């Protein structure tokens, strides 16, 4: 569709924005669609590939920060495997006692000396093994 304006009595033919005189769509750099030089992504913003690279870098960075939890789990596993009869322990519920027996996946803890009360705990329920040095402090 063309717009016709009159200027000083002379008709002036104006084309719609984005079209040339023949009515075909033109690109901002003057090249017709499909010709060399036509750049549909001209305008310089972030494209999808750049955003994916940035997103990937952020995810990798966050995974590196999470490495401390692996070290903590490894330290906990070493502590649980080193438990032996007579060690003083504290459970995740705060119950203190001394180990009477260590089994494959559970620990029997003596929690009361007077009544000889014993409790079974899963090994994962033991928060820490209290050493004699730490107990005196």
pLDDT digits (tens, 9 = 90+) for 31-67: 555 555 555 555 556 688 899 999 999 998 888 877 6
CATH of 84-136, one of 2.30.30.30, 3.40.50.720, 3.20.20.140, 1.10.760.10: 2.30.30.30
Q: Which pLDDT value is given to residue 47? A: 86
Question: Residues 14-40: what's their mean pLDDT?
Answer: 55
Specify the 3-state DSSP secondary structure of 90: strand
Residue 39, sorted as left (phi over 0), alpha (psi -120 to 50) or beta, turns out to be beta
CA distance 40 to 34: 10
Asked whether 102 and 58 are in contact (CB, 8 A), the reply is: no
What token pair was written down for 118?
A: 């014993």
CA distance 52 to 59: 11
CA distance 35 to 32: 6
What token pair was written down for 115?
A: 């009544």
Q: Is the pLDDT of residue 17 over 70?
A: no
pLDDT digits (tens, 9 = 90+) for 81-115: 888 899 999 999 999 999 999 988 899 999 988 89
Question: Residues 10-29: what's their mean pLDDT?
Answer: 57
Taking only Cα atoms into account, the Rg of the chain, rounded to an integer number of angstroms, comes to 38
The pTM of this model reads 0.48
The number of beta carbons lying within 10 Å of the beta carbon of residue 20 is 11
CA distance 4 to 123: 88
């Amino acid at each position: 569709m063309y717009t016709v304006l009159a200027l000083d009595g002379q008709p002036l033919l104006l084309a719609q924005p984005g079209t040339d005189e023949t009515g075909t769509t033109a690109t901002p750099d003057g090249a017709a669609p499909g010709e060399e030089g036509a750049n549909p992504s001209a305008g310089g913003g972030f494209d999808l590939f750049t955003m994916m690279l940035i997103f990937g870098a952020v995810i990798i960075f966050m995974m590196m920060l999470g490495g401390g939890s692996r070290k903590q789990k490894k330290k906990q596993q070493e502590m649980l495997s080193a438990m032996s009869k007579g060690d003083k322990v504290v459970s995740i519920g705060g119950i203190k006692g001394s180990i009477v027996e260590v089994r494959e996946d559970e620990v029997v803890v003596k929690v009361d000396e007077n009544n000889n009360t014993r409790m079974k705990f899963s090994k994962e329920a033991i928060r820490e093994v209290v050493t004699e040095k730490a107990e005196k402090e």
